[in-house]
Amino acid sequence: MIAPMEILIVVGVIVLIAVIIGIYLWTTYNGLVTLNVRVDEAWSDITVQLKRRADLLPNLIETVKGYAAHEKGVFEAVTKARAESISATTPVEASVAENHVQSALKSVFAVAEAYPQLQASQNYLQLQGELVDTEDKIQASRRFYNGGVRELNTKIKTFPNTLFVRGLGFTEREFFEVSDSAAIAEPPRVQF
């Protein structure tokens, strides 16, 4: 016959294990929710900066057009890249659009170098300064986002989390990477 004390010990151990598992699941779930929200917030920061840049591009195009109206292909490329950037909704789409925007901006700045009066224009210099500032903010936002994605993905892939987190609706997130990292290694420069 099993003594009541032995039953009490077994029940106590089972309850203790259940409480430990419950606390582990609760803290893991809350940690994943926190990381998920942080990644969403970081993506929102990126989209705000991409929108800010997209809003600056028409002004830059108009300013350069005043001096180099015959460079129609360059302006069309910037307009197309801007539209692609605005319509990007995922990190992969934004990465592709980012490559196109950087390429188009290089073309605009190359055209601008041929016009000393344009480079001396206060409006052009101000727009170029704002673009450089925005590019810096995009890079910082991208680093913050990718750091959050790394943390979230690591927590999802870590054992024993990997056994149950997908069932709770948590999935790995995509990094915001640019295929031509040399194109964005530095923001566009103001050159005289």
Q: How far is it, in rounded angstroms, from Cα 25 to Cα 110? A: 56
Q: On the CB side of 58, how many CA atoms lie within 13 Å of its CA?
A: 6
Q: What is the average pLDDT value for the chain, to the nearest integer?
A: 87
Query: Whole-model pTM?
Result: 0.78
With cut-offs at 50, 70 and 90, classify the pLDDT of residue 187.
very low
What CATH architecture is 4-184? Answer: Up-down Bundle (1.20)
pLDDT at residue number 34: 96
Average pLDDT over residues 24-52: 94
pLDDT at residue number 191: 43
